[in-house]
Amino acid sequence: MTRGSQEIKVNTIHRELVTMANLVEKQIYESMLSLKNHDVELANKIINNDDKVDEMQKIIEEQCIKFIASEQPLATDLRKIMTASKIVTDLERMADHAVDICKLTKKIGANINLFKKSLEPLWEMEKKVRDMIGLAINSYINNDEEMAYKICKRDDEIDSFYKSLFAEFVKEMKDDERLTEQGISLLFVIRYLERIGDRVTNICEFTVYTKSGSYVDLNE
């Protein structure tokens, strides 16, 4: 098989990967929108859409396996395709966290408005996490190792949001015990967002591996 035909197949896998990442970003955005607007109908739609993410994961994984088996790629392309098969796993798990948030939306409902002090940083945290996903996928496709390291530094911001929101929600629950159930649910929401940030860091680690052939731990 010619080098040109291999590049075409690699680019096809990359396009599928970008499409999946865009869907996952949308799932996360709409999960938080459903929480913000206590929109149970939207939450149910996102939960049902999770099957689409799962199906895209299977398709891309199959394409990666077929490519490795039939093309006998050189080391760089082999790492690139192996990395793609790992990235889709992290994307699928991000989408699972969006579903988790939707399930909590149905429990919290309009009571989220009782936490007015903490809500603006919560929406800002979600936006920053979501922006990181697109940047991480671009850094992988473009073999941009430098960008991968920069994105990981953004994860420190997400961790800071998590710590400050955790403290604020706990304080509000202590001040008003009636908020305990909803407050605990919101603690899970910020935990899921923090975990999505960690999974973006995983993608950045894969990008560095693709470029250098060495694994680095960027979650330290």
pLDDT at 160 over 90: yes
Q: Which pLDDT does position 67 carry in this prediction?
A: 87
The least confident of 125-134, 174-183, 185-194 is 174-183
Flag whether the pTM goes above 0.85: yes
Q: Give the Cα-Cα-Cα angle 176, 31, 48 (nearest 5 degrees).
A: 125
The least confident of 18-32, 70-84, 115-129, 191-205 is 70-84
Which pLDDT tens digit goes with each residue over 25-79? 999 999 999 999 999 999 999 999 999 999 999 999 999 998 888 877 777 778 8
User: Which value, to the nearest 10 degrees, does the dihedral of the CA atoms of residues 54, 57, 58, 60 take?
Assistant: 160
Tell me the helix, strand and coil percentages in the chain, rounded to 5: 90, 0, 10
pLDDT at 1 over 60: no
